[in-house]
Chains A and B, each alone.
Chain A
Amino acid sequence: EADIYQTPRYLVIGTGKKITLECSQTMGHDKMYWYQQDPGMELHLIHYSYGVNSTEKGDLSSESTVSRIRTEHFPLTLESARPSHTSQYLCASSEGVTSGVYNEQFFGPGTRLTVL
């Protein structure tokens, strides 16, 4: 069983609020990822990190920001939530292997965010 955790699991919040979605892993993985999952199932990579103090934007433009101050922790923040941010957010991690080789990503259970 993967040791990657996300809190909260469900969040309903009003427009304009600042929120932080937490993601932690205990596997010592260097690489971490945030995905946004549409109601239609498709996964979109919004942020990733190679390690401490490294963050990159993914394929889908997102108004969220991330930080990586500790290896095990990769929080995602929305400064001012809007209804368009309503979605499922999935966090994942993997070992720090070089690109092009076997890369299993371990996923957290997700946070379902609803912005009213």
Chain B
Amino acid sequence: GEDVEQSLFLSVREGDSSVINCTYTDSSSTYLYWYKQEPGAGLQLLTYIFSNMDMKQDQRLTVLLNKKDKHLSLRIADTQTGDSAIYFCAETLPGSARQLTFGSGTQLTVLP
């Protein structure tokens, strides 16, 4: 199957860490991505991880991949109000004509 699931909402206080979770069902995923959508805008690629990696760090962002559990997470350190947005995880499947399968999105709200 090609289902990618995320929790819909997450609220954190400014300065705290945020962890956004994603589960997927197809173990043949080759690349997994995190996209960010700010209000009134399109999606923008934040980071990605290749399926043979467990972790990737990029400044305030840490991506963790647990292939056994088919679980992907995005941790944002020192969350700021500008991080408030919708976050989508996505996967690339071999042989998939549509290239990317997106999750349902997680609305992150950062409270002052």
**Interface residue ranges, A against B (CB under 8 Å):** 2, 4, 6, 31, 33, 40-43, 45, 48, 56, 58-59, 90-92, 94, 99-110
Residues in chain A near residue B73, CB distance under 8 A: none
**25 chain-A/chain-B pairs, Cβ below 8 angstroms:** A2-B44, A33-B99, A41-B8, A41-B86, A41-B104, A41-B105, A42-B104, A42-B105, A43-B43, A43-B88, A43-B102, A43-B105, A48-B97, A58-B98, A90-B42, A90-B43, A99-B93, A100-B93, A100-B94, A100-B95, A103-B100, A106-B45, A108-B42, A110-B40, A110-B41
Q: Are B31 and A99 in contact, CB atoms less than 8 angstroms apart? A: no
With A41-B86, A43-B88, A43-B105 known as contacts, the answer to whether A103 contacts B31 (CB < 8 A) is yes
Q: Are B107 and A99 in contact, CB atoms less than 8 angstroms apart? A: no
Choose among B93, B95, B97 the residue with the greatest number of A CB atoms under 10 Å from its CB. B97
**Interface residue ranges, B against A (CB under 8 Å):** 8, 30-31, 33, 40-45, 48, 50, 86, 88, 92-100, 102, 104-105, 107
* A6 nearest CB neighbor, chain B only: B42
What is the distance, in angstroms, from B45's C-beta to the closest C-beta of chain A?
5
With A99-B96, A99-B99, A100-B30 known as contacts, the answer to whether A109 contacts B42 (CB < 8 A) is yes
Residues in chain A near residue B48, CB distance under 8 A: 102, 104
Residues in chain B near residue A110, CB distance under 8 A: 40-42
Residues in chain B near residue A92, CB distance under 8 A: 42-43
Task: Please count the residue pairs between chain A and chain B whose beta carbons lie under 8 angstroms apart in the complex.
Answer: 76
Give CA–CA (A48, B97) in the complex, Å: 9
Give CA–CA (A112, B79) in the complex, Å: 29
Give CA–CA (A94, B96) in the complex, Å: 14
Residues in chain A near residue B96, CB distance under 8 A: 99-100
Residues in chain A near residue B41, CB distance under 8 A: 109-110
Which 7 pairs show the lowest CB-CB distances between chains A and B? A107-B42, A100-B94, A41-B105, A107-B43, A42-B104, A43-B102, A103-B99
Residues in chain B near residue A101, CB distance under 8 A: 30-31, 92
